[in-house]
């Protein structure tokens, strides 16, 4: 269907549009017009991706700027899905418009997924593929070949040079599969085609890391122009991604490897000195001049800033004491040796970068200045030495990045040395965590560079947390509810077991037999009444294991066994995927299955249990993080000191977003239905922190239930759902046709006009005022009802 938002014609590839999709697109357009960042929460399974893509494509094609879209998603399957949707959209557009638009969209993923080279693609590990690919495609390898030396080249990569550099692939949308197929047919490397075509693409779809991880962003994304529209989809975990991309863990083993790398480099330098001293001299004189070239490029505003290479560093020359290659190697060795001595401690240490630096200086006379240049200097050296097997130097690179970061940032980072893996362990296995505490550092270059950054997901509540944590201001911040023609999902909070005792996974009572038994009966009851699939989420693997073993002892598992096949998620990815496969098969056949999994595990993120794969989801306990972790403690303290976010607020926010994420797994569309149960007494007070769309659908009478009542409710609900439901019933309410949109627009316009003239009739005023009040004083609501009830009692 085709409709207009203001003056923008939007082509939507489906005959109906959901009201929330329409609202989403309107807000998106406002944001793009205003030129700022926004945070949008849209219920899962309401076609977020397609509305986003169809609006932005329309925007791109209609306005003369043709702003590029960078769409970042989390997993490969999501990237593939988005590309497929985009393909469908473009097909629809060309059918509607009657001609093909000049349009290119590509997805980018790792070499491992795209490689075509017959021997390289058979490698299993991603790093090995990267390294081998580099050894076949690097610039100096080709130079060597031209000089007549006998080196291997990748024919797929070589073929690219024969093509026009800006027309490696024809216009159109390529899914990752499609791109590999095209590469196979034309004997060209899909990975490099995608990377080199990035400047000429209208839409690029790739993973977060290509934009947020400074090491990758430096290579892949730095040439993107300023007016790009950046979208982070499924972004509820974006703060963790930011933090992970700047955190470094060093173990004894990696330090040993780093030493080996340094020794290798030393040997290489000696070799080069005897054969090609000129090259080293060239590098040296270049360094004397400073990193000015890089600076020039940045001044011209070509590149995105890099947190590992701060701006002021570019303006200076490399300090004299690491200018010469051999001095730099001895410098690195000293630094690594120092880290090794630090590893020998037997108690946990947590310290700030400045105090680390002072101690470092006392012991080894390494100053801050040269440390800051470490990463850059190492890159330059590696380039000069023309090393082929870069993967050997990975640990060394890590140490150098660590050095640069520790010397650059005083605040927002903490060093934590943990000598033992767990508290019970006696054999030391020290790990030096260099942890980023401030999510804003990694995302800052992105927010600064691009004028429109859109953060969107199904679960972003509370919305104001994200701008606070990531350090930016929004022009639009909106949460949409779900319009439904019938109540298709039933969220409930169970606070008491069937014996009226409270249930909770809080540390004090989680192993109490009564609580475990109550949870057991809850699961058994739901296994009994729910058709097909049931998913149960636990707060942690540890708790899941203990509770399952206790259930085994109580005979609860045997009871569940009567109704469903039981499957369990494990930390091992392959085992879990097998379990998932079996679960799906079991859901399609017979009585269905029950899947036990963990709220922070793989299943809770990105795996959908649509339709009969998930008719009920149970969240056993509040999925809090493990609060004794030092890293988490440091982060909490940082958040409190710098962003005024209280420890408990953050912990509960984090737990609730994971819980909401789990609940969202079962509802993947408007014709889908499912029961959502939150089983913990603490959920009752955390209810306002749930996303708006879940919260709205929850009746007040369903927030404090015992197991029996919940089961009775669910039974009723499932019986209603079993009634035939025609898609016609949804029309005009939860799906809109063009006429509905027009009606809505006309109504809105009329209302606006009336507001402008100040002729608000009393009825309408009465309607509007409470609605605004309700937002401000949400707390009143419940009490009003309570008060009414009391009045009734009195009469």
Partner 1 sequence: MASKNGIDRQDEDEVCPVCKSSRYLNPNMRFLINPECYHKMCESCVDRIFSSGPASCPVAGCRKTLRKNRFRQQTFEDIGVEREVDIRRRVMHILNRREEEFDSKRAYDDFLEQREEIIANLVCRTDVAKTEAQLQAYAQENMQSIKANQLLEEQEATSFQKKILMEQEEARLRQQMAREEYENERREQQATREDFLTRLASGSSVDAAALAREGNKVHLKKSSARRSEEERIRQKQAALRGSEGKRTGTPLTTADTAGAVAGAGFIKGLRKIKTPEPEKPYDPFMGLVPGKRDYYTQLESYPYAFLDKLRADTTVQAGGYALQEYYSRTLLEAFAGLGCFVQEEVAERDATSALGLSKPASTEGAAMAAVGEKAA
Could you give the CA distance from residue 681 to residue 497 in angstroms, rounded to a whole number?
10
Under the binding rule (CB under 8 A), the answer on residue 719 touching partner 1 is no
Under the binding rule (CB under 8 A), the answer on residue 127 touching partner 1 is no
Judged by CB under 8 A, the number of residues near partner 1 is 48
Under a CB-based contact definition with an 8 Å cutoff, are residues 635 and 412 in contact?
no
Binding mask 250-279 for partner 1 (x = CB under 8 A): ---------x--------------------
Residue 662 tokens read as: 């789990």
Nearer to partner 1, 328 or 526 (CB): 328
Best CA proximity match to 452, nearest among 106, 52, 7: 52
Under the binding rule (CB under 8 A), the answer on residue 185 touching partner 1 is no
Among 323, 372, 377, 564, binds partner 1 (CB under 8 A): 323
Least CB distance to partner 1 at residue 328 (A): 10
Backbone angles phi and psi of 168, in degrees to 5: -70, -35
Could you give the CA distance from residue 587 to residue 674 in angstroms, rounded to a whole number?
14
Nearer to partner 1, 177 or 316 (CB): 316
Query: How big, in percent rounded to 5, are the helix, strand and coil portions of the chain?
Result: 55, 15, 30
Nearer to partner 1, 588 or 773 (CB): 773
Under a CB-based contact definition with an 8 Å cutoff, are residues 701 and 785 in contact?
no
Under the binding rule (CB under 8 A), the answer on residue 345 touching partner 1 is yes
Nearer to partner 1, 94 or 506 (CB): 506
Report helix, strand or coil for 617.
Answer: strand
Under the binding rule (CB under 8 A), the answer on residue 311 touching partner 1 is no
Residue indicated by tokens 């009739």 = 761
Could you tell me where the beta strands, DSSP code E, fall in 208-291? 229-232, 248-251
Under the binding rule (CB under 8 A), the answer on residue 781 touching partner 1 is no
Q: According to CB under 8 A, which residues from 426 to 485 bind partner 1?
A: 428
Under the binding rule (CB under 8 A), the answer on residue 425 touching partner 1 is no
Least CB distance to partner 1 at residue 732 (A): 39
Residue indicated by tokens 């610039």 = 139
Under the binding rule (CB under 8 A), the answer on residue 787 touching partner 1 is yes
- Give the gyration radius of the chain's Cα atoms: 29
Nearer to partner 1, 324 or 611 (CB): 324
Report the alpha-carbon angle 386-391-397, nearest 5.
Answer: 80
Residue 44 tokens read as: 């899962």
Q: According to CB under 8 A, which residues from 357 to 386 bind partner 1?
A: 358-359, 363-365
Among 346, 422, 473, 771, binds partner 1 (CB under 8 A): 346
Best CA proximity match to 558, nearest among 511, 512, 520: 520
Can you say whether the dihedral through the CA atoms of 120, 124, 129, 131 is positive or negative? negative
Nearer to partner 1, 62 or 359 (CB): 359
Residue 155 tokens read as: 């024919």
Count of CA atoms in the C-beta half-sphere (13 A) of 150: 0
Among 646, 743, 748, 749, binds partner 1 (CB under 8 A): 646
Nearer to partner 1, 321 or 559 (CB): 321
Nearer to partner 1, 769 or 785 (CB): 785
Number of Cβ within a 10 Å radius of residue 298:
18
Binding mask 276-295 for partner 1 (x = CB under 8 A): ------------x-------
Under the binding rule (CB under 8 A), the answer on residue 628 touching partner 1 is no
Under the binding rule (CB under 8 A), the answer on residue 422 touching partner 1 is no
Among 14, 182, 200, 338, binds partner 1 (CB under 8 A): 338
Under a CB-based contact definition with an 8 Å cutoff, are residues 390 and 265 in contact?
no
DSSP letters for 444-457: HHHHHH-SEEEEEE
Can you say whether the dihedral through the CA atoms of 633, 637, 643, 645 is positive or negative? positive
321: left (phi over 0), alpha (psi -120 to 50) or beta: alpha
Under the binding rule (CB under 8 A), the answer on residue 776 touching partner 1 is no
Among 195, 273, 324, 486, binds partner 1 (CB under 8 A): 324
Q: Indicate the DSSP class of residue 735.
A: B
Q: Are strands 489-496 and 565-568 parallel, antiparallel or unpaired?
A: unpaired
Nearer to partner 1, 97 or 345 (CB): 345
Q: Indicate the DSSP class of residue 485.
A: S
Best CA proximity match to 450, nearest among 217, 676, 666: 217
Report the alpha-carbon angle 485-608-51, nearest 5.
Answer: 55
Least CB distance to partner 1 at residue 585 (A): 50
Best CA proximity match to 430, nearest among 249, 258, 261, 262: 249
Could you give the CA distance from residue 607 to residue 567 in angstroms, rounded to a whole number?
15
Report the C-alpha dihedral over residues 398, 404, 407, 413, rounded to 10 degrees. Answer: -60
Under a CB-based contact definition with an 8 Å cutoff, are residues 526 and 616 in contact?
yes
Nearer to partner 1, 224 or 639 (CB): 639
Under the binding rule (CB under 8 A), the answer on residue 62 touching partner 1 is no
Report helix, strand or coil for 493.
Answer: strand
Among 215, 640, 686, 715, binds partner 1 (CB under 8 A): 640
Under the binding rule (CB under 8 A), the answer on residue 342 touching partner 1 is yes
Nearer to partner 1, 223 or 788 (CB): 788
Nearer to partner 1, 65 or 793 (CB): 793
Least CB distance to partner 1 at residue 385 (A): 19
Least CB distance to partner 1 at residue 786 (A): 7
Could you give the CA distance from residue 146 to residue 157 in angstroms, rounded to a whole number?
15
Nearer to partner 1, 434 or 609 (CB): 434
Under the binding rule (CB under 8 A), the answer on residue 793 touching partner 1 is yes
Could you give the CA distance from residue 10 to residue 696 in angstroms, rounded to a whole number?
30
Least CB distance to partner 1 at residue 351 (A): 9
Under the binding rule (CB under 8 A), the answer on residue 320 touching partner 1 is yes
Nearer to partner 1, 414 or 616 (CB): 414
Which of 239-247, 303-311, 344-352, 569-577 is the region at the interface with partner 1 (rule: CB under 8 A)? 344-352
Best CA proximity match to 400, nearest among 371, 431, 424: 371
537 forms beta bridges with 597, 619
Which of 33-41, 322-330, 622-630, 717-725 is the region at the interface with partner 1 (rule: CB under 8 A)? 322-330
Least CB distance to partner 1 at residue 448 (A): 26
Under the binding rule (CB under 8 A), the answer on residue 349 touching partner 1 is yes
Least CB distance to partner 1 at residue 644 (A): 9
Under a CB-based contact definition with an 8 Å cutoff, are residues 112 and 129 in contact?
yes
Count of CA atoms in the C-beta half-sphere (13 A) of 620: 29
Report helix, strand or coil for 433.
Answer: strand
Least CB distance to partner 1 at residue 601 (A): 31
Nearer to partner 1, 489 or 650 (CB): 650
561 by Cβ neighbours in 10 Å (0-12 / 13-18 / 19+) ranks as: middle
Under the binding rule (CB under 8 A), the answer on residue 570 touching partner 1 is no
Nearer to partner 1, 646 or 748 (CB): 646
Among 184, 641, 671, 778, binds partner 1 (CB under 8 A): 641
Among 142, 186, 340, 486, binds partner 1 (CB under 8 A): 340
Under the binding rule (CB under 8 A), the answer on residue 317 touching partner 1 is yes
Least CB distance to partner 1 at residue 321 (A): 4
Residue indicated by tokens 């070239």 = 293
Under the binding rule (CB under 8 A), the answer on residue 648 touching partner 1 is yes
Least CB distance to partner 1 at residue 269 (A): 13
Interface contacts to partner 1, rule CB under 8 A: 259, 288, 316-321, 323-324, 326-327, 330, 333-334, 337-338, 340-342, 344-346, 349, 352, 354-355, 358-359, 363-365, 428, 637, 640-641, 646-648, 779-780, 783, 786-787, 790-791, 793-794
């Amino acid at each position: 269907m085709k409709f207009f938002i203001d003056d923008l014609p939007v082509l939507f590839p489906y005959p109906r549009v959901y009201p929330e999709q329409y609202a989403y697109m309107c807000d998106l357009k406002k944001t793009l017009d205003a030129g700022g960042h926004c945070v949008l929460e849209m219920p899962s399974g309401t076609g977020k991706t397609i509305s986003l893509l169809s609006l932005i494509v329309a925007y791109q094609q209609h306005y003369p700027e043709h702003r590029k879209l960078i769409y970042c998603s989390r997993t490969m399957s999501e990237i593939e899905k988005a590309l497929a949707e985009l393909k469908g959209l473009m097909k629809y557009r060309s059918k509607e418009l009657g001609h093909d638009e000049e349009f290119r969209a590509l997805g980018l993923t790792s070499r491992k997924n795209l490689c075509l080279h017959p021997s390289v693609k058979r490698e299993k590990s991603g790093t090995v593929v990267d390294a081998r690919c580099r050894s076949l495609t690097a610039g100096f390898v080709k130079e060597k070949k031209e000089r007549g030396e006998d080196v291997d080249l990748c024919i797929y990569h070589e073929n690219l040079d024969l093509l026009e550099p800006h027309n490696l692939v024809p216009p159109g949308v390529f899914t990752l599969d499609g791109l590999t197929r095209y590469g196979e047919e034309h004997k060209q490397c899909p990975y490099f085609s995608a990377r080199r075509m990035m400047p000429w693409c209208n839409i690029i779809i790739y993973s977060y890391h290509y934009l947020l991880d400074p090491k990758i962003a430096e290579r892949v994304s730095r040439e993107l122009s300023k007016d790009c529209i950046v979208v982070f989809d499924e972004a509820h975990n974006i703060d963790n991604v930011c933090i992970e991309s700047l955190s470094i863990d060093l173990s004894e083993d990696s330090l040993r490897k780093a030493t080996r790398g340094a020794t290798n480099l030393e040997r290489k330098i000696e070799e080069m000195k005897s054969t090609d001293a000129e090259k080293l001299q060239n590098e040296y004189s270049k360094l004397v001049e400073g990193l000015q070239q890089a600076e020039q490029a940045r001044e011209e505003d070509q590149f995105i800033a890099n947190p590992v290479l701060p701006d002021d560093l570019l303006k200076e020359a490399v300090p004299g004491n690491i200018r010469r290659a051999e001095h730099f190697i001895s410098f690195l060795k000293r630094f690594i040796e120092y880290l090794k001595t630090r590893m020998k401690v037997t108690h946990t240490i947590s310290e700030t970068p400045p105090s680390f630096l002072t101690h470092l200086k006392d012991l080894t006379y390494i100053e801050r200045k040269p440390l800051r240049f470490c990463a850059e200097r190492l890159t330059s050296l590696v380039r000069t030495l023309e090393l082929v097997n870069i993967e050997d130097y990975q640990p060394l690179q890590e140490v150098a990045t660590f050095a640069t970061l520790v010397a650059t940032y005083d605040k927002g980072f903490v060093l934590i040395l943990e000598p033992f893996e767990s508290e019970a362990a006696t054999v030391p296995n020290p790990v030096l965590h260099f942890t980023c505490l401030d999510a804003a550092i990694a995302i800052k270059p992105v927010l600064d560079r691009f004028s429109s950054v859109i953060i969107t997901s199904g679960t972003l509540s509370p919305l104001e947390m994200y701008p606070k944590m990531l350090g930016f201001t929004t022009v639009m911040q909106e949460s949409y509810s779900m319009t439904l023609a019938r109540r298709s999902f039933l969220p409930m909070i169970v606070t008491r077991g069937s014996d009226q005792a409270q249930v909770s996974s809080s540390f004090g009572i989680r192993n109490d037999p009564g609580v475990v038994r109550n949870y057991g009966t809850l699961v058994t009851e739901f296994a009994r009444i729910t058709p097909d699939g049931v998913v149960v989420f636990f707060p942690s693997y540890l708790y899941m294991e203990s509770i399952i073993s206790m259930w085994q002892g109580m005979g609860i598992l045997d009871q569940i066994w009567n109704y469903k096949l039981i499957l369990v998620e494990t930390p091992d990815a392959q085992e879990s995927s097998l379990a998932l496969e079996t679960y799906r098969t079991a859901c399609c056949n017979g009585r269905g299955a029950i899947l036990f999994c963990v709220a922070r595990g793989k299943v809770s993120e990105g795996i959908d249990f649509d339709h009969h794969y998930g008719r009920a989801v149970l969240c056993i306990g509040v999925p809090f993080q493990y609060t004794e972790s030092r890293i988490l403690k440091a982060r909490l303290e940082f958040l409190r000191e710098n962003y005024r976010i209280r420890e408990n607020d953050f912990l509960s926010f984090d737990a609730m977003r994971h819980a909401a994420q789990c609940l969202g797994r079962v509802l993947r569309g408007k014709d889908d239905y499912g029961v959502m149960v939150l089983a913990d007494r603490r959920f009752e007070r955390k209810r306002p922190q749930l996303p708006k769309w879940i919260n709205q659908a929850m009746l007040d009478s369903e927030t404090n239930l015992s197991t029996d009542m919940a089961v009775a409710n669910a039974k009723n609900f499932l019986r209603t759902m079993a009634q035939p439901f025609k898609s016609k019933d949804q029309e005009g309410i939860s799906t809109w046709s063009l006429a509905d949109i027009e009606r809505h627009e006309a109504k809105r316009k009329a209302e606006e006009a009336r507001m402008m003239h100040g002729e608000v009739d009393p009825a309408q005023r009465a309607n509007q005022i409470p609605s605004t009040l309700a937002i401000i004083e949400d707390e009143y609501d419940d009490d009003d009802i309570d008060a009414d009830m009391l009045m009734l009692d009195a009469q």
